[in-house]
């Protein structure tokens, strides 16, 4: 006998919670509560799903968010079908032309990146060291906040990335209830070892001499610093240097872009960033500026004249 969408979604949530990370579960439940439950009372037809997509896009929701919502819907539909709770639903979604999957994240130019790097080296502190490491390794903000001093092997000149810190919001709990979580990184490929240069090793060594191995690097206490506080601090540094107010994630994008501009091996850059495939690195994290593009054109022109 066919069940209501809400009933099946509740059973799916209970099962899913056992197998996915808290952060993923929180995202799934938020998409379900905010978008799917208000839209569907029963198992939807292909037309109803397409109408839902059209409405959400027209309301200003990004294509990426709609795609993520449809992914949750597919999981619930499969769960209901496997349990014999409703019939198989075959559907194909079409997105209106002109909708963007993901906006481009601004990055620091080479000049801006050098100015930031110089400032961080000259004003060394625990938080500035964290920013310096991100600028030289492409670490995600949660991975940087999750670094403990014992994760930095200065003899081998390697950073061991084994944890990430993030605040988890309980979408199916009391309003705004949340907690700080320290877990393994987002994917298997994100668990990695990143080489560090000699100059950065010396900067790390200056602060590591008096630090305890189990302390977190940017807080230098047994408690990790929450990523949002690092974002606030990063904005203050940018303001002090009169640099563009880019997002913290721009450090990761800037690192990848400089690597590619320097002619680094794509696969090596992908491994440093913790990506499962090179295509992710090239599609999402490489932003050549006009100078880099001009360099390519000049190289082609030179080759043609030989």
| Four-point Cα dihedral 99, 102, 108, 109, nearest 10 | -50
Q: Please give the CATH topology (third level) of the domain spanning 110-293.
A: hpI Integrase; Chain A (1.10.443)
Find, among 198, 203, 189, the residue nearest to 272 by Cα: 189
What are the CA-CA distances from residue 188 to residues 22, 128, 185, 267 (Å)? 16, 28, 7, 16
Hunting for tokens 């619930």 — which residue is that?
Answer: 76
Helix (H, G, I), strand (E, B) or coil at 167: strand
Would you list the DSSP string of 113-156?
Answer: HHHHHHHHHHT--HHHHHHHHHHHH---HHHHHT-BGGGEETTT
- Residue 149: the pLDDT is 97
- Residue 39: the pLDDT is 95
In DSSP terms, which residues pair with 183 in a beta bridge?
164
Find, among 252, 233, 176, 236, the residue nearest to 225 by Cα: 233
Low-confidence ranges of the chain (pLDDT < 70): 1-2, 98-104, 171-176, 282-306
- Spatial distance between the Cα atoms of 160 and 240, rounded to a whole number of angstroms: 31
- Spatial distance between the Cα atoms of 28 and 8, rounded to a whole number of angstroms: 14
Q: Where in the chain is the domain with CATH 1.10.443.10?
A: 110-293
Predicted confidence (pLDDT) per residue in 109-153, tens digit: 999 999 999 999 999 999 999 999 999 999 999 999 999 999 999
Q: Rounded to the nearest 5 degrees, what angle is found at the Cα of 69, between the Cα atoms of 27 and 250?
A: 60
CATH code at 5-82: 1.10.150
- Residue 208: the pLDDT is 93
The pTM (predicted TM-score) of the whole model is 0.74
Helices 227-241 + 126-137 axis angle, to 10: 90
DSSP 8-state assignment for residue 195: E
């Amino acid at each position: 006998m066919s069940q209501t969408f809400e009933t099946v979604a509740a059973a799916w949530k209970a099962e899913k919670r056992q197998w996915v990370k808290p952060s993923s579960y929180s995202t799934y439940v938020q998409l379900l509560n905010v978008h799917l439950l208000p839209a569907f009372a029963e198992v939807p037809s292909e037309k109803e799903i397409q109408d839902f997509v059209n409405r959400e896009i027209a309301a200003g929701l990004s294509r990426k968010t709609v795609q993520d919502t449809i992914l949750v819907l597919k999981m619930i539909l499969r769960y209901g079908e496997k349990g014999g709770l409703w019939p198989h639903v075959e559907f194909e979604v079409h997105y209106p032309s002109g909708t963007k999957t993901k906006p481009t994240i601004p990055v620091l130019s080479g000049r801006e990146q050098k100015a930031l790097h110089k400032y961080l080296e000259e004003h060394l502190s625990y938080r500035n060291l964290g920013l310096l490491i991100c600028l030289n390794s492409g670490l995600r903000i949660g991975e940087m906040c999750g670094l403990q001093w014992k994760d930095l092997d200065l003899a081998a000149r390697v950073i061991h990335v084994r944890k990430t810190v993030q605040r988890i919001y309980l979408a199916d709990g009391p309003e705004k209830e949340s907690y700080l979580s320290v877990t393994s990184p987002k994917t298997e490929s994100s668990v990695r070892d990143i080489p560090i240069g000699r100059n950065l090793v010396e900067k790390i060594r200056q602060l590591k001499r008096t630090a305890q191995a189990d302390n977190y690097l940017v807080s230098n206490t047994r408690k990790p610093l929450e990523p949002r506080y690092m974002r606030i601090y990063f904005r203050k540094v940018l303001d002090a240097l009169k640099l563009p107010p880019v997002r913290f994630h721009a450090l990761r994008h800037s690192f990848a872009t400089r690597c590619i501009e320097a002619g680094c091996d794509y696969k090596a850059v992908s491994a440093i960033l913790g990506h499962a495939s090179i295509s992710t690195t090239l599609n999402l994290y490489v932003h050549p500026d006009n100078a880099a593009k001009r360099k390519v054109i000049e190289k082609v022109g030179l080759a043609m004249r030989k």
